[in-house]
Chain A
Amino acid sequence: PRSTDDFNYATYHTLSEINSFIDALVQENPNLVSKIVIGQSYEGRPLNVLKFSTGANRPGIWIDTGIHSREWVTQASGTWFAKKIATDYGRDAALTAILDRFDIFLEIVTNPDGFQFTHTSNRMWRKTRKPNSGSRCAGVDPNRNWDAGFGGAGSSSNPCSETYRGTYAHSEPEVKAIVDFVTSHGNLKAFVSIHSYSQMLLYPYGYTKTPCRDQAELHEVAQRAVAALTSLYGTKYAYGSIINVIYQASGGTIDWTYDQGIKYSYTFELRDTGRYGFILPANQIVPTAQETWQALMVIMDHTKNNPY
């Protein structure tokens, strides 16, 4: 594509195509968008993050898509979100107000090694690609690798399991890079990690049944976010804490971010048509992204209106 206007958002793209898209978006919007590289994957790929910013020293909102590489609709939705943010700034009053107060950080391909592997070798690959010493099985589930109840129930110590936690918390460079970014930034106010599939909007905790101290507020925001999402195409979502709505999962992303003091920590599980699982047809990408955007706007707007 010659520009991000020509990019086909209704098809799946390779890693290099997404990286070209990122560079094009930066080039087209130099006063709004920049690319920062927060680290390298195990195989040496850059961990690219788009920064949308209209001023200096702003608090931040983080969004990541595709930490599980085979969940292709997440990376595709992330690409659509990036274009949406660039397009709507200055046109949509709500988004403009958010960007006038906050920076938005968007990591479209959180697990580039795994994503590349799904395109070249194994479409069903979920984990990172680092070899595990003493095992024939490679990779760690990056959503069990965070220092939040690490090693507890709801994660596996078996390197061949899809939920293998790794040998220690933050052992995966893809996770460590975000950890370092979050701690060095020090002023993120919302953190949204997007997965697929099963149609859920979840908040902490996953590793303990103890309700998080902001549960009532997080629940109310989730309720409004899901209502906004559902209003577009009627897609039904469940919402609640991870441990109550899905299962006990230790070492999860948003449990760590919440414990770091990022109150508005949420994770999505995108569309489930009941027919395709991870292999969601490409014609579902844009509707999925559009409905998810409605919910994201509720979370970001609430973050803007409720400083802490």
Chain B
Amino acid sequence: KENFVGHQVLRITPKNEAEVILLKELSQLEHLELDFWREPIDVSLPVDARVPFHSLQPVRSFLAYNEIHYDIMIADLQDLLDAEQQEMTKSRALQ
């Protein structure tokens, strides 16, 4: 089973078109293996990206260098998935 330990999901809020373009460029960098849950499209829409652990440093550096604001929406994806599995298991046991 694929493991997502250390993966974070960042909610990035571009404030102008230039930042949207920078985020589009970021999304083209295949070696980072980013998974855009909400793609960079328009200033009015937030961008959500799942960032593997090995890409966290370069992505955060990129955002900081370009002064693009972001929040950590999910700090460790695997924690949420473990909780999801536990909930399903508990529900089955109750059933």
Interface, chain A (partner B; CB < 8 A): 1, 6, 8, 11-13, 120-124, 160, 162, 198, 246-247, 274-279, 281-282
Contacts of A11 on B, CB cut-off 8 Å?
A: 87-88, 91
CB distance B41 to A246 under 8 Å? yes
CB distance B95 to A124 under 8 Å? no
CB distance B2 to A8 under 8 Å? no
CB distance A162 to B35 under 8 Å? yes
| Cβ distance A269 to chain B, nearest Cβ, rounded Å | 10
CB distance A277 to B37 under 8 Å? yes
Given A162-B35, A274-B73, A277-B73, the answer on whether A1 and B95 have CB atoms closer than 8 Å is yes
A124 to B2, CA, bound (A): 9
Give 9 pairs: A residue, B residue, CB < 8 Å, sorted on A. Answer: A11-B87, A13-B88, A124-B2, A162-B35, A162-B36, A275-B73, A276-B74, A278-B37, A281-B84
CB distance B95 to A274 under 8 Å? no
Among B50, B73, B94, which residue has its beta carbon within 8 angstroms of that of A124? B50
Say what secondary structure dominates the interface of chain B. mixed
Instruction: Give me the 5 closest cross-chain CB pairs, A-B, nearest first.
Output: A11-B91, A122-B2, A247-B41, A279-B80, A277-B37
Contacts of A160 on B, CB cut-off 8 Å?
A: 30
A247 to B4, CA, bound (A): 29
CB distance B39 to A247 under 8 Å? yes
A305 to B30, CA, bound (A): 50
Tell yes or no: B45 within 8 A of A by CB: yes
Given A124-B2, A124-B4, the answer on whether A274 and B37 have CB atoms closer than 8 Å is no
Given contacts A279-B84, A281-B84, 20 further A-B contacts (CB under 8 A): A1-B95, A11-B87, A12-B84, A120-B1, A121-B1, A121-B2, A122-B2, A123-B4, A123-B81, A123-B84, A124-B50, A160-B30, A162-B36, A247-B41, A275-B74, A276-B80, A277-B73, A279-B77, A281-B83, A282-B84
Interface residues on B, range: 20 to 34
A1 to B36, CA, bound (A): 37
CB distance A246 to B95 under 8 Å? no
Contacts of B80 on A, CB cut-off 8 Å?
A: 276, 279
A279 to B87, CA, bound (A): 12
Contacts of B87 on A, CB cut-off 8 Å?
A: 11-12, 281-282
Contacts of B35 on A, CB cut-off 8 Å?
A: 124, 162
A41 to B30, CA, bound (A): 29
Contacts of A278 on B, CB cut-off 8 Å?
A: 37
Tell yes or no: B48 within 8 A of A by CB: yes
| Cβ distance B56 to chain A, nearest Cβ, rounded Å | 16
Nearest residue, chain A, Cβ from B7: A124
A198 to B36, CA, bound (A): 13
A51 to B8, CA, bound (A): 41
Contacts of B50 on A, CB cut-off 8 Å?
A: 124
Contacts of A247 on B, CB cut-off 8 Å?
A: 39, 41-42
| Cβ distance B32 to chain A, nearest Cβ, rounded Å | 13
